[in-house]
Structure 1
Amino acid sequence: MVAQRLSQYIEDKGISLYAFENTLKVSRGSISKAIKDDKSIGSNVLENILRNFDDINPVWLMTGKGDMYVNSEPSYKPERTFLLRTDGKKEIQRIPLYDTQAAASIVNTFNGKQNIIDYISIPNMPLCDGALPITGDSMYPLLRSGDIVLYKIIQDIQEGIYWGEMYLVYLNDNGDDMTLVKYVQKSDKGEEYIKLVSQNQHHAPKDIKIKKVKAMALIKASIRVNSMS
């Protein structure tokens, strides 16, 4: 039934029935009651749903055939994974891919406030908060400009660093905002500093004050897109 497939969609999106009904601007309980009683949903309500949630596949919703989403995201195989021993793996997850070129600040991206280009699904990966393409050659040849990195946001920068791991580091240095991909190591200058180290030997390590770091994310995996021309 349509109502049960709609219930699957709402659950997969991770939104509440109340929020769903609120988006549609329908009376509270109207959708939840139809789902609970497995009743038919009127055509005007279905049109409202498809207008407000344009990622749902109308053929799947009406018939159960095909995929739940209009453009089902491809399942990628990561080029590399960077796992901690404590990482638990999730069988499947939809990881948002963000448009960093349009982002004024990566902090907005970390907060989910920038445009999502698409979603990436990778089986048996640790939980990730997002993915984005990188630029620059500081981590070459491990990472190349254009590679996509999948990351987990660090909530407590002071206490949450795993030394020697690779991070996205957003910092303000002398008034300049910059986003770097670096290994983060302990600094010989003391606890107020961290050392940023590149894979590319042409980039010298740099010690910076940790208070300059505005956001950090632990890199969990990378994807390389090889285009054929």
Structure 2
Amino acid sequence: MGNISDRIALIIKEEGISIRAFEQHIGCSNGVISKCINKGTDISSLWVSKIIETFPKIDPKWLLTGEGTMLSPSSAASNSITSSKSSPSIPTACHAPHGSSEGIPLIPLDAVAGFPAESSGGVRLEDCERYVIPEFENKGANFLIRVSGDSMVPLYYSGDLLACRKITDIRFFQWGTVYVLETSQGVLVKRVQESVDHADSILCVSENSSVHHPFLLPRDDIRSLSIIVGLVRLV
């Protein structure tokens, strides 16, 4: 069935995400998969391995050779690669029992800046829902937040749980990366770009840019900053 770039394009279509979101899922630089699909450039074995690792429901033999079907036999039987076309393949989340100290806490949006809680106040961990997701714990995730709104569709949907790791130094950004920013406007999930004309601000960009237009955010309005290390989509 075509070449490997055609099959990668089919995976992206099946997952219902953008090429850029797919690149983020496997951890490669912006444009690597885009060039493979649109220009027919070769893709290294490293990224093929990452695709197989990140999307375990995909049959490796099909991806490499085109033989067979997209879904591995076990996942095809359960039809569980996605519960909807917009849901990417993600690790399984187990809801920890109430009062448990295991797992990653789900922090209310208005309490992100106060997490981790100090003895003087902040969000009470015993009041938080927790999810056991070993893959995200291994990546250093220390809290989850729930997405609200449609500004980051199709990358993230309202109700998605984002696994986040707080950054202590909020002065530096990796341009083009999606961050969780706690500001005076509340918690924002935005792709951050450099503002050439305003050195004291950053440009916050939504994936759903036809509805939510980019805007400038003063650097001194950023109270806390986190990177996203994983996604849980509850369906």
TM-score of the two chains, using structure 1 as the length reference: 0.52
- 2:117 matches 1:105: no
CA distance in 2, matches of 1:81, 1:118: 23
1:147 is displaced (CA, Å) by 0.2
| 3-state secondary structure, aligned to 2:104 | strand
CA distance in 1, matches of 2:146, 2:181: 14
- 2:174 matches 1:184: no
1:82 is displaced (CA, Å) by 6.9
State the match for 2:156 in structure 1.
143
Change (3 A) 1:167 1:205: same
Q: Which residue, 163, 170, 179 being the options, matches 2:182?
A: 170
**What number of residue pairs does the alignment pair up?**
133
Q: Which residue, 213, 220, 226 being the options, matches 1:211?
A: 220
State the match for 1:126 in structure 2.
139
Q: Which letter does structure 2 place at the counterpart of 1:107?
A: A
Q: Which letter does structure 1 place at the counterpart of 2:217?
A: I
1:216 is displaced (CA, Å) by 1.0
Q: Is the 8 A contact 2:205 2:213 kept in 1?
A: yes
Q: Is the 8 A contact 2:110 2:187 kept in 1?
A: no
CA distance in 1, matches of 2:203, 2:168: 19
1:217 is displaced (CA, Å) by 0.5
Highest Rg: 1 or 2? 1
1:78-136 Cα distance to aligned partner (Å, 9 max, x none): x9847478xxxxxxxx6422241xx6432113447423211322337522121121111
| 3-state secondary structure, aligned to 1:139 | coil
CA distance in 2, matches of 1:221, 1:138: 18
1:53-74 Cα distance to aligned partner (Å, 9 max, x none): xxxxxxxxxxxxxxxxxxxxxx
| 3-state secondary structure, aligned to 1:107 | helix
Change (3 A) 1:82 1:138: farther
Q: Is the 8 A contact 1:82 1:221 kept in 2?
A: no
State the match for 1:96 in structure 2.
104
State the match for 2:206 in structure 1.
198
Q: Is the 8 A contact 2:110 2:186 kept in 1?
A: no
Greater strand proportion:
1
- Aligned-pair Cα RMSD in Å: 2.6
